[in-house]
Structure 1
Amino acid sequence: MSITNPTLFPTAIHMADVIGGVAALGANADIIPLIRRGLPVSTVAFILDSGKLTLAELDRIVLPRKTLMHRRKLGSLTPEQSDRLVRVARLIAAAEETFGSADKAHIWLRRPTTALAGEKPLELLDTDEGARRVETLLGRIGHGIAA
């Protein structure tokens, strides 16, 4: 699977853009081997610099600041950290596609919602099950089903 085919995987393309696109991941890259090897630390810098996540959010959801400092010296994330970062990027991309705007997605991800038992969607992304619930809710919203 290539992440560069927007007709087959639009969210995958957008997800790659959230973490740095071709500059960080390479052209025509399959994301799975990249995750297994460990993404470059530049992907973290990109998502922070773009404002998609704050350092505090990254600290809670993807990897602690102290660990990030250590990973910067090594140049890459671990496969587990890479997987968490991609999960968060995929859901940010899905929210942006669902709401049609990065600003609207940014607000929605950080606002508590009754459909998620009063939790903020972004705060659920620290677990796979939480991410699935957010993804399901975004799917319902995208299809016009009452959340």
Structure 2
Amino acid sequence: MQIQSLNLKTTTTDQLISQLKQGLPADKFDQLRSKLNVSDNALSKIVQISRRTLDRRRITGRLATDESERIVQVAQVYDMAVDVFGNPQKAERWLKKPARGLGGKIPLEYSDTHLGAQEVITLLGRIMHGVFPG
């Protein structure tokens, strides 16, 4: 299992779960923020990490398990969008604009919950297969 945008390479889901339980390095937040081209505040809101907590995590060097899961969740959405649209710039644009398939909601913001992220991934799968316009 690979999470391209975070440079996480694991061969099994168990390995990824183990990494999540240990907590990802705090710099994975910054790595994802850079890929998405959003502010600290914007990504903090999406992954539900307060600025004060983020500052503490940067000092300790590790994210908590739940924070790590949310970072991976958004990274998976981003990676799928890059696969579907062919390049990071197109993926980033699509993730930041209202999507008809989400009732006019913005895919990146909709990815702030597990169910929302799954809906975005489902929509991206439909777009990839020509079943539903974005």
Q: Secondary structure at the match of 1:126?
A: coil
Give the aligned residue type for 1:83.
E
Deviation at 1:114, TM superposition (A): 1.8
Equivalent in the alignment of 1:73: 59
Q: Secondary structure at the match of 2:111?
A: helix
Deviation at 1:146, TM superposition (A): 2.2
Cα deviation per residue 1:64-108 (whole Å; 9 max; x = unaligned)? 221100111221000000000000000000000010110000000
In structure 2, stretches of 5+ residues that fail to align are none
Deviation at 1:128, TM superposition (A): 0.8
Residues 1:31 and 2:16 are matched in the alignment: yes
> What is the number of residues matched between the two proteins?
130
Match of 1:130 among 116, 120, 125: 116
Equivalent in the alignment of 1:6: none
Q: Structure 2 length normalisation: TM-score?
A: 0.87
Q: Structure 1 length normalisation: TM-score?
A: 0.80
Give the aligned residue type for 1:127.
T
Equivalent in the alignment of 1:48: 33
Residues 1:102 and 2:88 are matched in the alignment: yes
| Aligned-pair Cα RMSD in Å | 1.8
> Structure 1 residues 75 and 141 mapped into 2: Cα distance closer, same or farther (>3 Å)?
same
In structure 1, stretches of 5+ residues that fail to align are 4-12
- Shifted more, 34-43 versus 53-62: the winner is 53-62
Give the aligned residue type for 2:62.
S
Q: Is the 8 A contact 1:112 1:121 kept in 2?
A: yes
Give the aligned residue type for 1:41.
A
Q: Is the 8 A contact 2:33 2:40 kept in 1?
A: yes
Equivalent in the alignment of 1:117: 103
Q: Is the 8 A contact 2:101 2:132 kept in 1?
A: no
